Amino acid sequence: MFSGKAHAAATVITAGVASPAIVFLAQQPPLSAIAFAAGCMVGLVVTPDLDVRYRNTYSETIMRHTAGRFVGLLWDILWLPYAYLIPRHRHWLSHTPLLGTALRLLYLLILPALIWWILGYFAALPALPQITLSPVASWALGGLVLVDALHWAMDRLAR
Ligand SMILES: [Zn+2]
């Protein structure tokens, strides 16, 4: 079984190898490569292994070391319901490429939408903005999807 550290190393290597390839082989603008690398790096913390019910995941460790203990704790609390919504660790809902990524991004969008909806009862708020995917955001999403797929492949290899 690969550890969270091994998944993180694979993620960083993917960002480091794929980003120059996007510029030099695919001849895309550097901003696309930067967005792709950023998407890969988001995969360090928005990882399929957030389905682990015991806390102190590698994702939380990264958040705690980069943003402080309080943010790490908030990150941990944010993902605790997700861990209990997914039936078990490495379930297909969290680990299937594309589906798992989409569900985690949806999970991240639900909380702000819920807060906005509740605040709407107390104050007149504008409607939630429509989410559109710019070309740069598409590259970032591609990076996240790729590292999630890599995570899935590593977990399959380690069985
Ligand atoms: Zn996993």
Per-residue model confidence (pLDDT) at position 74: 92
Residues of the chain with pLDDT below 70 are: none
Number of domains comprising the chain: 1
Question: What spacing in Å lies between the alpha carbon of 120 and ligand 1's midpoint?
Answer: 38
Question: What spacing in Å lies between the alpha carbon of 152 and ligand 1's midpoint?
Answer: 6
Per-residue model confidence (pLDDT) at position 154: 94
Per-residue model confidence (pLDDT) at position 49: 93
Per-residue model confidence (pLDDT) at position 130: 80
Backbone angles phi, psi at 95, to 5 degrees: -110, -10
Question: What spacing in Å lies between the alpha carbon of 86 and ligand 1's midpoint?
Answer: 13
Question: What spacing in Å lies between the alpha carbon of 75 and ligand 1's midpoint?
Answer: 18
Question: What spacing in Å lies between the alpha carbon of 124 and ligand 1's midpoint?
Answer: 42
Per-residue model confidence (pLDDT) at position 57: 82
Backbone angles phi, psi at 3, to 5 degrees: -80, 170
Question: What spacing in Å lies between the alpha carbon of 96 and ligand 1's midpoint?
Answer: 10
Question: What spacing in Å lies between the alpha carbon of 121 and ligand 1's midpoint?
Answer: 40
Per-residue model confidence (pLDDT) at position 104: 97
Question: What spacing in Å lies between the alpha carbon of 90 and ligand 1's midpoint?
Answer: 5
Per-residue model confidence (pLDDT) at position 7: 92
Per-residue model confidence (pLDDT) at position 156: 92
What is the residue range of 78's domain?
4-157
